[in-house]
Every structure is written in structure tokens, then in C-alpha cells.
């Protein structure tokens, strides 16, 4: 495991990215998009799991413009308050710019095969949908993205495979918002959405307080199949 630097497209500086490399060469790359807790132990564990499946995982520090190196958990009220404060101050459009820069770098990393996708969780799940709409990612996976119903006006711009994992009882996504998303993506070529019954937000967060082993296993299996089919 290693850390690399990525140059921001707007010339504002450089930011770090955690990299987990697979044993095999010529691997597809996956840009792993953080939750509101930064590139923390849970996200690094997710990267390590992707590397174990044969993908080159790269997780950029998207909060670097606010506070570099954020690494907090979902275990205390103080950490939640900090996470929400960072999310509210975060410029999502700049975040997508940084993700596109990371995607370009990931395609060219040694050991890669030139193909690259993105996978995101929570805030990252929303940014993942934005990447599907606004980047040349070969494949995108979104886990319980918040506020993605507000992005459906651009859903027609998606040209590559997009997989959505949606929690039926997501406390941050009202049922009406979920139904708007499902209505917008139904019948769209290359887009698939799965609703996981009886689970709440962050059901696949490694080590998280709301982790649900059954839903996570099913969702992660679908993710692995989708990534393998596109990235090799």
C-alpha cells in the first residue's frame, strides 16, 4: 500500500491519494470516492478489498482544500459533527474536478491496463453519479448516494455502465426521493439500480455501526461482477 500525489487541474496544488495494488499486473483501476469521514480506515479497507479482487484502487483526499488528511470514524458525536461541517463546506464541483484528475492519473499508473472506473459511498455515492454524468470513467458504482434525485436532470449524459445500490430505509434519503431516482433510471441502457430491503444508510461501510453483512455481500458481489466485466 502506498500514497501518491495528484496535481489539481485548477493549479491550486496537489493532494494525496491512498493506493492499494493487486498482485497481478495489467489491472483495471478504480477511483474510490470517500464518505464524509475522509480517507479513513474503513475506506482504506475497502481499497484493500478491491486490490484483493485484482483491481488497482486509488482513493483521493477530497477534503484537502479544507483540511488535508481527514481520517475520522462514525463512532462518536464529535466526529459526526466534524464530518457534517466538512461536508457543508465542501465544493462538490471542485471535488469532481479532483476526481477527474485522479481518474486520469489512475489510468496511467504502472501495473494498470488503461481502463478506469469509480466507486463511491454516501457523499461519494453522489459524487460517483456526477462522475458518471461528467467524466469518461469506464464504469461507475454508487452506494447509497445522498441527494442523487437532484442529479437526474443530467442522467441522459451517462454513456458507460452505472450501478446504483440504494438502501430502502436510508435515513438521509426520503422514499419519495428514492422513487424519483428509480423512475428516472428505469429503462436507461447501461444503468441498473438495486434497492436493498430493510437496511439503512451505510449498510456496506466496513466496520461501520450500520453494517449489514447480507446486504453488503449481495451488493459487493454485484459490484465485483460489474467492475470485472468492464475493467478486466
Examine the residue annotation and report whether 170 is marked as an active-site residue of this protein.
yes
Contact indicator for 129, 140 with CB cutoff of 8 Å: yes
On the CB side of 180, CA atoms within 13 Å amount to 14
Contact indicator for 43, 34 with CB cutoff of 8 Å: yes
Examine the residue annotation and report whether 201 is marked as an active-site residue of this protein.
yes
Spell out where 61-218 has E strands.
112-121, 140-143, 162-167, 191-196
Strand 140-143 and strand 162-167: the pairing is parallel
The one catalytic residue among 98, 201, 210, 212: 201
The one catalytic residue among 138, 149, 170, 212: 170
Residue 79, all three cell numbers: 466526529
The dihedral through the CA atoms of 170, 173, 177, 182 has a sign that is negative
Residues in the chain: 232
Q: List residues with catalytic annotation.
A: 170, 201
Amino acid at each position: 500500500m502506498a500514497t501518491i500525489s495528484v496535481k489539481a487541474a485548477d493549479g491550486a496544488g496537489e493532494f494525496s491519494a491512498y493506493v492499494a495494488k493487486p498482485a497481478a499486473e495489467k489491472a483495471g483501476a478504480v477511483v474510490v470516492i470517500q464518505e464524509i469521514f475522509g480517507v479513513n480506515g474503513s475506506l482504506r479497507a475497502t481499497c484493500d478489498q478491491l486490490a484483493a479482487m485484482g483491481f488497482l484502487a486509488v482513493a483521493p483526499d477530497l477534503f484537502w482544500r479544507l483540511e488535508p488528511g481527514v481520517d475520522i470514524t462514525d463512532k462518536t458525536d464529535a466526529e459526526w459533527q466534524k464530518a457534517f461541517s466538512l461536508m457543508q463546506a465542501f465544493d462538490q464541483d471542485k471535488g469532481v474536478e479532483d476526481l477527474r484528475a485522479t481518474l486520469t492519473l489512475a489510468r496511467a499508473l504502472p501495473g494498470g491496463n488503461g481502463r478506469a472506473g469509480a466507486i463511491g459511498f454516501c457523499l461519494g455515492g453522489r459524487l460517483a453519479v456526477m462522475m458518471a454524468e461528467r467524466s469518461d470513467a469506464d464504469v461507475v458504482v454508487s452506494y447509497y448516494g445522498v441527494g442523487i434525485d437532484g442529479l437526474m436532470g443530467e442522467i441522459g449524459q451517462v454513456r458507460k455502465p452505472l450501478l446504483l445500490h440504494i438502501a430502502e430505509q436510508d435515513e438521509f434519503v426520503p422514499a419519495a426521493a428514492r422513487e424519483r431516482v428509480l423512475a428516472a433510471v428505469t429503462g436507461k441502457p447501461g444503468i441498473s439500480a438495486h434497492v436493498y430491503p430493510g437496511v439503512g444508510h451505510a449498510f456496506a461501510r466496513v466496520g461501520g455501526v450500520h453494517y449489514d453483512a447480507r446486504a453488503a455481500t449481495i451488493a459487493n458481489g454485484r459490484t465485483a461482477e460489474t467492475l470485472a466485466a468492464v475493467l478486466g
